[in-house]
Chains A and B, each alone.
Chain A
Amino acid sequence: MNDRIRPGPDAVVNESGIEVKPLYGAADVAASGGLDMVGQPGDYPYTRGIHPMMYRKRPWTMRQYTGFGNAADTNRRFKYLIANGQTGLNVAFDLPTQIGLDSDDPLAEGEVGRVGMAVDTLADFETAFEGIDLDAITVSLTVNGAAAILIAMYLAMAERRGYDVRKLRGTAQNDILKEFIGRGTWVFPVEPSVRLVGDTIEYCARHAPKYTPVSVCGYHIRESGATPAQEMAFAFCIAKAYADETIRRGLEIDEFAGRLSYNFNVFGNIFEQVAKFRAGRSLWAKIVKEHYGATDPQSMWLRMIAGGGGGGLTFEQPELNIVRGAYYALIAALSGAQTMALCCYDEAYTIPSEYAQRISLRTMQLLIEEMGLTDTVDPLGGSWYVETLTNQMRAKMEEVMADVEARGGIVKLVAEGAIQAQVSAQAYAMQRAIEEGRFPKVGVNRHRIDEEAPHVEFHPYREEDARAQIAGLDAVRAKRDAARARQALAQVRVDAQAGANVMPAIVEAVKAYASVGEITRELVGVYGRYREPIRF
């Protein structure tokens, strides 16, 4: 259904399957649907941006994905990035934390602190954010399977430090449906997982109304093999599933939609990408207004982090990834992203070094401070090519969304493994196209060099850090009020069994220094564990 490959010397087709012409004019714009969906920046349907002045008023937030070892290691890297001008934090957790295992769990052996920061209890969060002003720097938690627990931990940590949780800003990724498609940090079966997301949205709407409890991710679906149009369409289907779950609980769309956000990928064709974001902004606004009947403009805003995607970077000639990252940042800036992060040039090899992180950060600073990217809103708006492509990308996304609906809806298709099989077949086709040279990739299938000696500094993994993390967990367990922790954990199970919102009980358990693994065990006892459908 998707011809992602150039069909012949005369035709050019982009990854989303749209044929690209050698020249565009006003007639092409008209034939693709005209300019009805363009509007003005800050006005419905927000094609040109969600704010009237966009970066003129405030440049995008720079939020590199960071975390490794223990909380103290990560706190030092956070402070390094802030000292270098970073304006937001994006926390990477290790795999045991992400899937709800304590550092002393036998399954966690060899993985503690490896791909992110290890977190067992509130004590780790207290260390990780020590000395960081949570009003000045917003924090994004990249966690999904264990998101409810870590959101609770973040709110509890902030409250303990004297912040008013009702005014606290921040974001959790907390998009479990995409974890079943790509990334894989699921814990519970699909349906209770979606309910748990509903619990966090409902809880935040009532208790932490400035906090963004979900960042719906097209990013990882794209990495798993989706086209740019599918990336956005699948993400919108997923966001609708969470919205439906929340509305089912009696909340109005305008009570929570303004606190949903998105995470999208940036790699590939510059114009297809910019059109994707412009089209997606207006399509989401239309869905929220027309399908859900929202009246608050903020509910209709597609707020997003655009990430310079790992899927576009290469192992070969890794220094070229610095250049690719600069183009990805340019795309994100031309697309009106609220927040930006770039995969570092060394990420096909290792946890990024300070040096690599600084290059990514400086790349974004260059665009803001030297290149004029913040002067004018939606600078590509009005280009015949970009406006035509924006209309065509929107139509493609609507087509994909209609197809998902016709096949039974996103929750069903994910539970069956159908979306997984679809994107994985596309990933295979793309890999073959790259290996056969039909899809150009510089350094990979052209302009190769035989003997590579890349300048990469490998991040060390220290077993003793894992042992120290476990000793720290033991110390917290010995020191905490055991009866209070036990009681709080029992309440988590009682509430889960009753089908009540489990967030209040999780917040209490976290404050009693119950661990991520202990709380997850209570939930697994009620919800069970996900079993992955293997389908090709």
Chain B
Amino acid sequence: MSGKRIKVVLAKPGLDGHDQGAKVVARALMDAGFEVIYTGLRQTPEQVARIALDEDADVIALSSMAGAHLPFCRKLQPLLERNGLADKLWMIGGNIPRQDHDALRALGFAGVFPTGAKLAEIVDYIRENAA
């Protein structure tokens, strides 16, 4: 790690406009000392991959509240891989039903933090897993 600050790109995927949770998480990650690039709403898979690449992100995190997480992640996965971001930490949080967790992990979104997850759990997970 050699003291480099962990850099997190936190994105709101698709058309979902519920950003209260994403902004709360962004503040918690900043307070934990991470560098946070919050994308704002309405990001396409192409935009998320592009920002993650340009920013040289250690962590690519999505916040999804309106149910479109699986189709979005299926499109994002090959883009992240093609851009050489497969070794970064991929995470997703929000309204993510339990029955979708395995599918998301299989796609490479190793950290799944559904409603009810605590800010400290998210912070600790990044500390332990972000390279």
Contacts and interface: CB of A to CB of B under 8 A. Distances in A.
A240 to B, nearest CB: 24
A140 B17 CA distance: 20
Interface residues of B, number: 34
A184 B71 contact: no
Contacts, number: 88
Interface in A292-317: 315-316
Interface stretch (A103-111, A241-249, A475-483): A103-111
B20 A225 contact: yes
A224 B114 CA distance: 19
Interface string B92-104: 0001010100000
Contacts of B119: 431-432, 435
Contacts of A439: none
Contacts of B71: 109-110
Interface string A98-132: 11010000011111001100000000000000000
Nearest to A445: B118
Interface string B39-67: 11110100000000000000000000011
Contacts of A186: 17
A111 B14 contact: yes
A404 B113 CA distance: 36
A350 interface: yes
A110 B97 contact: no
B15 A424 contact: no
B34 interface: no
Contact of B116 (A225, A315, A350): A315
Contact of A95 (B15, B24, B95): B15
A182 B40 contact: no
Given A184-B17, A435-B120, A532-B40, 20 more contacts: A95-B14, A98-B15, A107-B15, A107-B44, A109-B71, A110-B14, A111-B15, A111-B66, A114-B66, A182-B17, A182-B20, A183-B18, A184-B41, A223-B20, A224-B20, A225-B20, A350-B97, A424-B20, A431-B119, A536-B23
Interface of B: 14-20, 23-24, 26-28, 30, 38-42, 44, 66-68, 70-72, 95, 97, 99, 114-116, 118-120
8 contacts: A99-B15, A101-B15, A107-B44, A109-B71, A114-B67, A183-B18, A461-B67, A534-B38
